[in-house]
Chains A and B, each alone.
Chain A
């Protein structure tokens, strides 16, 4: 498992062209077959782009679904020809069928949580940055890494195909609670659509496990000489804990899914008991519908941090780099990551305060849940102190990182309402929850992801993304996100339930009709702003301004010591040795304000982090 061995073949080729390493390198890449270079690639950088582009596909698909159901929510008494165009029989005459409404809500949630913000986020950046930032030529197992992507692709195909079957996709919400999801009599989406959902999730979990194990092994074993754990950039720490969370919690979801499949097809009663449906009493007795919720949320809550941690790590890196200041409280940041990781496993039942669970148990979960506020607060204050007295460059990446902090604060604080069971007993399953999790793990994780893309795009493609479009993207998205989700808190406080197709028959909620319209319009505008980002991305891949400086942001971490467009193997020569921590933004004695990790300590200079 040595660094050099993993891509023996490639480095060997490099050696033969040693004299013109750089020039020949490009030449060599051309000779590789298209299939092995871009499709069944084992290069972590290509795999990361595969994750990213698949994630983008799902983000657009999932976003479009939200546009459709926002049309229904904002304008329940109107018809839209675009709906009948896309949804066909499911929107006859331009009016969306409730079954399809719930199907879209379900698939929107599923693909954004899992395919975009897990696969697309940690799949992309763990893959891209771990080898580059720790100084490795590739992942510990490039082959498993490739498999990880292809299982993700398989999961994607299965999930996408479920949109086209005649009983429609799964429609019980992204949490797919049984008995609704277990009984095909209970809803159309609980037919074949639900089976495809479960199979797709099983493939996704395999993908995530293959990826996660690989990330952990790579971080622990393949760091270059001098790269002690406490010299790693916080991105790597975040990816490491993300992988640990995934490896320990995803298998539990798999078991939940398998038991659900048994209940659906093998006549078992794990989740079913005393049910009378479609005119008959089912034979199942003794199961517990609540069991599924425990299993689901045992993954479901860590999943939130699987989404958040990479965004936190990248924001830390970007805030520090563009403020030209070391990250404040490096060890406190690591400790808070550890705190969050441990607590992530101990809070799952706060999603279940109103299931009738023991109030005493509920009390324990309140306590443990609110504890998470402490490491989160530490992180926020450390970010603020990082930019304090900095020398800030407002690149698009920096703007998104700042936006990330703002959204994380807003969404994190509303968690203190929901984590307190005596408040949750009213706010549970209302729009307050919708607002909370969209801001804190939806939009803010997206901001972390955008920051990462703008920041590392030059490393990915050797070109910059267009700045101006980046700024337009930032301002529309930031303002739009708050316009969409801020008023939803109020709706939730008024008790407006989520997952409703229409509110006009409700004396208590119909007064929000005008507001729902406004939210829908904002959502559509924000959706188009994301298309602008995708447009910018792909135009810049081919037409963007070329990178001429291998270290365009003047950053310290190792990825900027590679050639502008690194080949498979990352460094042409030997892997650089590391002599200092990743955040040495200080006077380098020659008028510069940073000292990259591979620069040896000057005489008499003390290493702050050994």
Chain B
């Protein structure tokens, strides 16, 4: 019997396809910005949203959407206003999110605690019809915003200073990207689960960039890996009766290992054409050994 015959599987497949498509597209910007763990932070914050929904009886998906988006804004404000380093601000949000989520869920009732597991690691049977509508709406909004601002985001993540001199509002765009990551986390909450959703943003990008020679190729490759792993992972989890989140993530990690193994001979071939790589990557103002060049005698 085909798995498509079950209504809940149809809904789960729609949700999985959505996250497989969108997560890598957001993740590639996070990796480029060196914020690969941002999705994890947002996942923890969304957990507080889920806890709040349990406690108040509100619908979990929209509640988590609102709370995660607010958490994203707070994170960006903490980063901008105080001199807190990016990863420290992220850590603070991390802890607050997971503590809040567990506390609120415990306050709610006994049966909420077992339901929490479904949000942490994903679940096949719990994607309700109204959830699918929420997920589709959120997914369409994310894709539209990416379509409109995607190229600016590329320039911003490539070099924020240069982007600023092109008139790009880098601070606002950074906040927008964080909010989009938060929304994406909630889209993946039902299928992949909040603890692992960040992996589906990052691992397909890590796999694709082993073989890609450009940003565009990395993006396309990451979406293919993301879609293939979410759909295959979902079907596998149905067959084996295990949670979909870990299955999807392990498949993505397998894709990464395969890509990395294929990349080894390619990289070796690249190294056979040696380039005079300078060792000054750690310096900021051109100080370092490269400054000891002949310049002095020209002026003295």
Chain A partners chain B: no
Binding site for A on B (CB under 8 A): none
Binding site for B on A (CB under 8 A): none
